[in-house]
Chains A and B, each alone.
Chain A
Amino acid sequence: MRDRALLLLYLGAIVAATFVHDPARLAAALAAVLLASGRRAPRVLARASRAAAPFAAAVSLGWLAASWWEQRPAGAALLRLNLRVLLMTSLTFALAARLDLQRALGFSRTLRFALVLTVSQVLTFRRLHADFRLALLSRSPRRVSTAASLRHGAAAGAWFLRRAEHDAAEIAQALDARGFFLDRR
């Protein structure tokens, strides 16, 4: 119940953030989120900045260049856009630490089951992906070339497909052996 309420509160805050257009209020809301995060505030801000930076920077730089070319002010629009993006992403990271997603989405048994299976596989695959990337870096004395990156990406992609085939068959057999599907037939 607590997780579902937390998720609803978060969704309400996210929607509200898209109706606020005054940069001062967006900045105040961002400060409030960071204050509410307590000691985790620097981490929340750093993670939010890292997650939002690629898309926001590309759009901001493009808009800045277009505004300079057309000789129109860009400051207010850029400030508003970036503050809103940072506020919404910070809200997500502030929530992520406190929310049990499986409990929050527990209203559907099928959805919860799919979520549990998927999250467990995602976490395993993410760790393996990071391991493969570190292995590539550790066996490359110099900066990894584009060709090596492409070969590595292709090999890792093919590996994950084969691993998916193996895991899907294994999980299906394990569930069947434990009678998971008996009460559905």
Chain B
Amino acid sequence: MHVPDGFLGPQTYLPAYGVAAAAWTFGLRRLRARLDAATLPRLAVVTATAFVLMMITVPLPGGTTVHVAGIGMLAVLFGVWNAFLSLSLVFLLQALMFGDGGVTALPVNALAMGLVGSLAAVGAHRLLRPVNRDAALFAAGWAGTVASATLMAGVLGLQPLLSRAPDGSPLFFPFGWKTTLPAVVLPHLAVGVADGVLALLAGRCLAPRPATAAPPPGPEAP
């Protein structure tokens, strides 16, 4: 879902950096204030897991593939701000080490998937938890993915309105909302199901526990 470099204009990514910088500062201060022996290693390892889960592609009919993002999983396990920091770190590493995503797209990706996606996931989880714990976990994964895809489609569709050449041709991403909303959001309604299953699995087997507990045995390879 995340956008590479070159598709977002400075009218979008410069203000987005301003908002994201404020959010990163707040999140880092919050993390440092609550840092203990369990939090940071767990956050780092689950960040790496989110990174590798994004590499596992799910085949779709027609030859295309999609991948889960783990937004709901991170938000439910670590809360909104830690999930935001964790996903921002994933996007930074993907952009600088592997050329996936990009530095100009980083704040938009981080805000859409890390912050808005996490807020939607935690909101859905809190709303449904009193009714059914499993349904709440699944809804968190689904809502996180769909909310961030909707925001991303909105930002992409804004580009032709913000920057055009004198001849009227688009300077960055060329399609408007009429194209981006169905093209981005509809497939993510299905991807959200995979993310919902992931959040459900993770919520059951990765619930935070004290750092003094013995580590569980390593798993066997699939």
Give me the interface of A with B, judged by CB distance under 8 Å.
10-11, 14-15, 17-19, 21, 47-48, 51-52, 55-56, 59, 62-63, 66, 73, 76-77, 80-81, 84-85, 87-89, 92-93, 95-96, 99, 101, 108, 110-111, 113-115, 117-119, 121-122, 124-126, 128-129, 131-132, 135, 146, 149-150, 152-153, 155-173, 175-176, 180-181, 184
Contact = CB atoms under 8 A, between A and B. Distances in A.
A19 B9 CA distance: 8
Contact of B41 (A19, A85, A108, A117): A117
Contacts of A48: 99
B93 A119 contact: yes
B4 interface: yes
B23 interface: no
Interface string B204-222: 0110010111111111111
B35 A184 contact: yes
A48 B57 CA distance: 21
Contacts of A132: 221-222
28 contacts: A14-B102, A14-B104, A18-B172, A21-B171, A51-B99, A59-B173, A59-B175, A66-B174, A77-B170, A80-B165, A85-B7, A88-B5, A96-B96, A114-B43, A121-B44, A121-B48, A122-B48, A122-B52, A129-B55, A161-B49, A161-B202, A164-B46, A165-B205, A167-B45, A171-B45, A172-B41, A173-B211, A184-B35
A161 B212 CA distance: 20
B174 A166 contact: no
Contacts of B218: 162-163, 166
Interface of B: 3-7, 9-10, 13, 28, 31-32, 35-38, 40-49, 51-53, 55-59, 68, 85, 89, 93, 95-100, 102-104, 165, 167, 169-175, 179, 198, 201-202, 205-206, 209, 211-222
Contact of B205 (A131, A162, A169, A176): A162
Interface residues of chain B: helix, strand, loop or mixed (majority): loop
A152 B13 CA distance: 37
Given A121-B48, A129-B56, A167-B41, 18 more contacts: A18-B6, A21-B165, A55-B7, A93-B99, A110-B40, A114-B47, A119-B97, A122-B48, A126-B51, A129-B52, A146-B59, A160-B53, A167-B45, A169-B213, A169-B216, A170-B215, A175-B37, A181-B35
A173 B6 contact: no
Contacts of A113: 40
Nearest to B217: A166
Contact of A52 (B4, B85, B179, B216): B4
B215 A166 contact: yes
Given A55-B4, A88-B5, A150-B58, A173 B219 contact: no
Nearest to A180: B37
Given A118-B44, A153-B58, A55 B219 contact: no
A88 B219 contact: no
B113 to A, nearest CB: 16
Given A95-B96, A129-B55, A159-B221, A172 B37 contact: yes
A85 B68 contact: no
**Which of A18, A84, A108: most chain B CB closer than 10 A?**
A18
Given A77-B174, A172-B38, A85 B4 contact: yes
A85 B213 CA distance: 48
Ordered nearest first, which 10 A-B pairs have the shortest CB separation? A121-B48, A169-B215, A117-B44, A155-B222, A85-B6, A88-B5, A51-B99, A172-B211, A171-B41, A125-B52
Contacts of A63: 174-175
